[in-house]
Structure 1
């Protein structure tokens, strides 16, 4: 599946993992204070706060209309409500969103008790469009099966979108986010438990030929599953992630990925040749067809999962078409592994192939969480697809290449100095314990913390100091203005000159621009410079990041013409721009000695229409006149103006 820009979290679903008692707005405030960026909240329209959860007790045909149904809906009152509905996607037992009489919906429509084709209707079962959650209105919204009848429906419909920084891969799962909230509030965290019976019928061999690329690989076998559509609660959870439901097995792997932040993959066991699993380097030129039906030619640096016949998955990136789960699949091999992050990053980039899995693997997953993750996946598959777990955990491991446990010492006095507020050593130790660290306090005031395996970002003392500051609260740090001595200093002559030029040009309709001091290698050709022009001799950059930064510019004209071109594409027809910048003429010893300050002006179009003229197109003489007026304003009486030589 393709990677999204943000991480989506259903507010109600998150509260299953942590005992959060506040509102969604209070949760967003807390996350923001912890440095976790909240991109937005997808929620019903504010006027829909009174919506309630209902359960369909009976669904009968409307006696006077073929396309309507007559439903008895329990909403937590003494008696069910009779509601006429035009949708067809609900059945007896469905949990639905109900607007009772008096409730206002998105767009201002107010629900009242009224007759529909001669039958009284005492409310409405709502679609997404009616409550401001999108344009979908072909069917009504169906809620998870464990929704409480009569409870407010609003929290169940709120989805928070978060932007997670690359150094915090532990927050790319709901459980990691719950850990962070629990550490900040002291709330109880509730990790899901997995209980099921298993046998040892299928000891499928697993080999790690590339031990550094895959230091740990776990697998389990599940037989006799029934691949079908997912139950409603799973379809709703997957939809909240912005994904389309595929089938019950694939949906479970996606669900557990988002729950734990740990990718998994399910293979059709009967299509694995051997069956066996081998994690190895790809053979140069090896061909692989992915589940997106695209064919990729692999290189030796690519890491693959292979069976006896060849590659069946791009490790950590995407599965193969030949072993994907279909409606005919009956037996599964479930994969849960730890892959080398740089290796996955290089493979994903070289192939131009990114997924939710590669997004997490290339940042690093928790190598110690593989057992609970794969057990959770198997337990959910047994719940929604039936079957039997016919193996224990099958494992291959290269301990020498796994991340080693880390201990980091933090000095209490140093923390106080950096944070700017006094925190006792016991307070600092308590914060680190809540973050999952094992803490030992020394009499010298030093705290030694053993870092949990899921916090790969904590490697130095300053990292722990930052964590202490975050969870103590940035708002608790007292404001202390910096102490500094002030004195009047001489202003650099270049700044004085720039200010005078700016004061001359800006009132006359000139706009100032800024650009980088680099130029494209073909800039000289675009400017039509003569072969003998000194402006062709730009200083080349040894390691340019792009073609646009291959040389240091020798003139500002290229940058100014680029600015005019961009504005022309956006509809500007008359524009005057200038830039102060540095240029680097060739032939001067040393790069610093080559640096020169320059002023460039460029304009296009024509002069404003005046009653004495119709508007004249700008030409060389306009440029000459502008320069003469500028030099005179600056007190420069001797100067020479020459046309620019072009081919």
Structure 2
């Protein structure tokens, strides 16, 4: 909401408040003022000029040589490139030495050999947005009406010396979507009276009811419809003061009739619409629901297909307006309009919102109907518009109003006790002080003992419960005046829980390993909801999704991480390492809240290590991901409880994937993205992992412990085993560990061979074994005894032979 300081001053005395001071007080009272704009702050030297003569520039076809009276002793010559400049016009002139927006300084110059002493300005050159310029001046210079004087301040005449306060309103404060609403707020803050217009149009003898009849066929959507008829209007520009106030409020001027309806809209907060009465033709207005598939052309000349849940204004035969949203091209006020029908109605906010959303039509009117208008202003706004049309469009207002329906809700009464008020705020207010605050808000009150009952005016539909009254008292009493207190009760120890600490350890480890954290949507499409899921269930669908792509809750973090990696890869970021900790959601049945679990997932693609000086590059592979998971487990003290097992889940490469086991129970998966899926998203080899993070972090963890470096030397033995090609290295490692006992301290695979020199169906797996006794030096005999035991176990359990 843009609030003009000059316009606001018509309703409440703010002369002793600078715009900045006023903005500060409004913000402190609960409505944030995002900024204060001073349009004329950076401009100077702009005056009204009168073009005495205009002739073609002798050396340029597109330039005019103008003689302009700028209030000095002699007129000055100005070269102008606007097509619409002509003699007899009053224009805005930036004299020599003037400064325009952007610190653009006007200097005396020669244009194609002719001297130019200033610049004739368009509205855009004076800082007014082009979307707000009247259509006739959208291109070219602006022409003032004849009630200006050469040499006077052009910025003042255009209200550019105004201050514009931009209010950031919360949805509940729809009352402040009008100048009168803001005036009530400012008057309450400053403790002053509000001066409201009292419309009383001069009426002719002919009754309006003879010109138009109104019928409401959808009273639940439109309980009240009021119309006024103004005849013999003369369409033309609205007064300059009205045009400039509308522009300052962010509304584009059109003509006097349309501008008046917009002016009253901004003044009262009540949307109005002006119809060309003669184009209604039937002499009847019927408000009804649209027919399914009904066609209607709106003011923007777009044909709309209506549905049965939308409300239309008709002439009894065809639609002439989409109620509360936009009028129709078939009843639009134009340059030939003579007789005007003014519509002022109360429409249900939900039905207006549905229509506005369905057709993508967002207007000042629909925004106010959606949030709620004051039903007590429907009639007054209609009278105000009729009065202004009689004054500024030369029309004759027919006597009486044409009214259909009735809607006069009783003002709500809300009560609160002084004790409850003070308890909530921590104050010691007296009843007199509370009554004064409500009096400043123009609320009627009734006090009985310790309880005060407030009759809430209909303009404040946001006040319905005692807590709302508490808020009103708090903000006008002043949040700065509310005493500061510490919470009472036993203090709780601070710090992170073991679970939170574990999550932080994992995040820091992954970031130290070269990963970047990603945060992706919890919502996804039906196709991706269960993709890569560790537990596949029926996806949880949203009741009111934003779109088909965000209609289901995810069951895995990986689909969006793959999407993020593909997005980066498409922008020449081929080496990507991303991780995410987040929730997934598992269906627990109909009408049951889904189960929420925290997962850890990641993706690596491209180069994992690069040493440019040595000319070395190492691409990410399966073992990179496996090492990352093992490192994270080590940081959590869970290494001995984690293991890996071959797996072939859907979406992963069938030969480069493993299930992650924790205490022999599956908790995750690591592996390569299936090549067909990688091709779909245009990724090279990509490796993924996903773990049930909550299982790992809730497990009892062993604190990190250190052992001294052995004082006695170790003995290493290498063995190359020939086994069936189907035997997994993990099985051999387990057998070796069990047979090696306490002396075997380290074991790892250092070679796997399958080739020409091996028997068909066989492979060679080589292990490096390290034996050590922390208490003494091992002898060859002791090591040989254990080593023979290991070989025997391998022969017995895996039919493994030493490779010759």
Give the alignment's TM-score, normalised by structure 1. Answer: 0.84
CA contact (8 A) 1:82 1:120 kept: no
Alignment partner, residue 445 of structure 2: 439
Query: In the alignment, does 2:619 pair up with 1:617?
Result: yes
- Deviation, 1:385, is 1.9
Gaps of 5+ in 1: 1-6
1:531-565, Cα deviation, whole Å (9 max, x unpaired): xx864324524636344565544332224224334
Matches within 5 A, 1:25-36: 25-36=20-31
Matches within 5 A, 1:478-627: 478-488=483-493, 492-515=497-520, 517-523=522-528, 527=531, 535-541=535-541, 543=543, 545-546=545-546, 547=548, 550-568=551-569, 572-584=573-585, 595-610=596-611, 611-627=613-629
Change (3 A) 1:597 1:391: same
1:402-428, Cα deviation, whole Å (9 max, x unpaired): 432211112222222222222221121
CA contact (8 A) 1:12 1:156 kept: no
CA contact (8 A) 1:95 1:143 kept: no
Write the distance in 2 (CA, Å) between the matches of 1:508 and 1:344. Answer: 54
CA contact (8 A) 1:198 1:388 kept: yes
- Deviation, 1:522, is 1.0
Write the distance in 1 (CA, Å) between the matches of 2:148 and 2:193. Answer: 21
Residues 293-302 or 367-376, more deviating:
293-302
CA contact (8 A) 1:411 1:445 kept: yes
Write the distance in 2 (CA, Å) between the matches of 1:173 and 1:295. Answer: 31
Q: 257, 273, 290: which one pairs with 2:265?
A: 257
Change (3 A) 1:107 1:358: closer
Alignment partner, residue 637 of structure 1: 640
Alignment partner, residue 343 of structure 1: 351
Provide the secondary structure at the position in 2 that maps to 1:362: helix
Write the distance in 2 (CA, Å) between the matches of 1:186 and 1:139. Answer: 44
Structure number with greater Rg is 2
Residues 134-143 or 564-573, more deviating:
134-143
Q: 45, 53, 56: which one pairs with 1:61?
A: 53
Query: In the alignment, does 2:13 pair up with 1:19?
Result: yes
Query: In the alignment, does 2:15 pair up with 1:10?
Result: no
Provide the secondary structure at the position in 2 that maps to 1:301: coil
Write the distance in 2 (CA, Å) between the matches of 1:94 and 1:207. Answer: 48
Alignment partner, residue 650 of structure 2: 646
Q: 277, 284, 296: which one pairs with 1:288?
A: 296
Alignment partner, residue 4 of structure 1: none
Q: Which structure: greater strand fraction?
A: 2
Residues 426-435 or 191-200, more deviating:
191-200
Change (3 A) 1:205 1:45: closer
Alignment partner, residue 451 of structure 1: 456
Query: In the alignment, does 2:48 pair up with 1:44?
Result: no
Residues 268-277 or 475-484, more deviating:
475-484
1:497-552, Cα deviation, whole Å (9 max, x unpaired): 22322232222222233445554321167x4x5xxx86432452463634456554
Residues 177-186 or 194-203, more deviating:
194-203
Matches within 5 A, 1:114-129: none
Provide the secondary structure at the position in 1 that maps to 2:312: strand
Provide the secondary structure at the position in 1 that maps to 2:175: helix
Report 1 or 2 for greater relative contact order, CA contacts < 8 Å, sequence distance ≥ 6.
Answer: 1
- Deviation, 1:274, is 2.7
Write the distance in 2 (CA, Å) between the matches of 1:185 and 1:587. Answer: 57
- Deviation, 1:377, is 0.9
CA contact (8 A) 1:534 1:586 kept: no
CA contact (8 A) 1:537 1:586 kept: yes
Write the distance in 2 (CA, Å) between the matches of 1:89 and 1:472. Answer: 56
1:600-647, Cα deviation, whole Å (9 max, x unpaired): 121233124303444333222221222233333433134333466335
- Deviation, 1:313, is 1.6
Q: 186, 193, 198: which one pairs with 1:181?
A: 186
- Deviation, 1:104, is 5.0
Change (3 A) 1:628 1:425: same
Write the distance in 1 (CA, Å) between the matches of 2:361 and 2:258. Answer: 19
Alignment partner, residue 755 of structure 2: none
CA contact (8 A) 1:129 1:137 kept: no
CA contact (8 A) 2:529 2:555 kept: no
CA contact (8 A) 1:285 1:299 kept: yes
Write the distance in 2 (CA, Å) between the matches of 1:508 and 1:200. Answer: 88
Query: In the alignment, does 2:391 pair up with 1:383?
Result: yes
Write the distance in 2 (CA, Å) between the matches of 1:341 and 1:483. Answer: 44
Q: Aligned residues, how many?
A: 624
- Deviation, 1:141, is 8.6
Write the distance in 2 (CA, Å) between the matches of 1:174 and 1:550. Answer: 41
Provide the secondary structure at the position in 2 that maps to 1:522: helix
**What value does the CA root-mean-square deviation take over the aligned residues?**
3.8
Write the distance in 1 (CA, Å) between the matches of 2:26 and 2:576. Answer: 45
- Deviation, 1:225, is 1.2
Query: In the alignment, does 2:197 pair up with 1:192?
Result: yes
Alignment partner, residue 212 of structure 1: 220
Query: In the alignment, does 2:144 pair up with 1:139?
Result: no
